Amino acid sequence: MPCPYTSNFSHSNINILTLNINIYSRKMKAALFTLIIFILSLTISCEQKEKSSQNDRTEEKATKEQPKADWSSADRLKEEIELAIANDELQLVKSLKWEKQSENINLHEEVEAYLNSQGDLVKVIEYFGNSEERKEGQRIFYFNQGTVALTTELIDVWQEDGGFVLTEREIAYENEVPTQGRQRSANAIEELETQPWSKARAEEVPFTTAKQVLESEGPFKTHYLTFVQGEEALFLLFGEPKREDRFVTALRVDEMTPFIFELLENSDENRFKEVVITFKVVGGLNQPEFRVLETIDWK
């Protein structure tokens, strides 16, 4: 006859044991899964830290290897040229004053150039204004052996509140290629010189317009347009050979010549004909400045 005790152990206790084993097995699997996740997270974290450390070292190395901007040569050239101007060692040449008025847009261009004893350009200043872009200012070109070595831009940008922001930007060149730039801004010229420089993109400042104004080329050729007889002086107008949207300049006539008499008598027939002129600049120094015609002839 089977023992009741043995029979009970073989069924209920074995079931309990099996259940405990299953529970233990599931706990072991869960623990193992948790351990695997933990190990993976440590591995990923270590890899990320290693990559971050490598990136930091790479950036630090790049920063150390990047040469600091050297403006000593450009500053020295600028100082030498400005000293030569202060000592009257260079010849000053002024261009005609040009203006273009079209609807609500007003443009103006004027150039001053400093030449050495050989007639080479040393410094050129382009004065400009553009009402559409709400800015005006000057572009200064410093030359070294006939090529642009440094440009300085001083630009006023008008604000809606009636004020303006003045920005100074300098670009250094090597073999006519821009190599480095810097800039600073202020609300007044007195404040500008105390502002620190910040890095700027090394973009070329075009010399084309200044050169055309200086040489009376492109839209700045002197075609006869008409004349204006004022109460005290006669002015001849020259500019682009079209009736609107054109650059125009005026020269005062202090002395009548046979050529000028013929020009005025046949003004309509002579309109848009190109002439060659020479002129001088009078006035200035807190007085009105005029370009006065000296010679004129057909080209």
Q: Compute the distance between CA of residue 181 and CA of residue 203 in angstroms, rounded to an integer.
A: 8
pLDDT score, position 57: 54
Q: Which residues are bridge partners to 290 per DSSP?
A: 282
Upper half-sphere CA count for residue 184 (Cβ side, 13 Å): 12
Structure tokens at 239: 């500019």
d(CA 171, CA 193): 17
* Residue-level pLDDT at 40: 44
Distances (CA, A) of 259 to 37, 42, 249: 99, 95, 19
- The reported pLDDT for the residue numbered 231 is 87
CA 53 vs. chain centroid, Å, equals 37
> What parts of the chain have a pLDDT lower than 70?
1-68, 162
Q: What is the pLDDT of residue 41?
A: 52
What's the confidence (pLDDT) of residue 66?
45
248/210 Cα distance (integer angstroms): 16
pLDDT at 138: 97
pLDDT digits (tens, 9 = 90+) for 139-165: 999 999 999 999 999 999 887 776 789
Tokens of 293: 């015609």
Look at residues 25, 17, 6, 144 and name the one whose alpha carbon lies nearest to residue 78.
Answer: 144
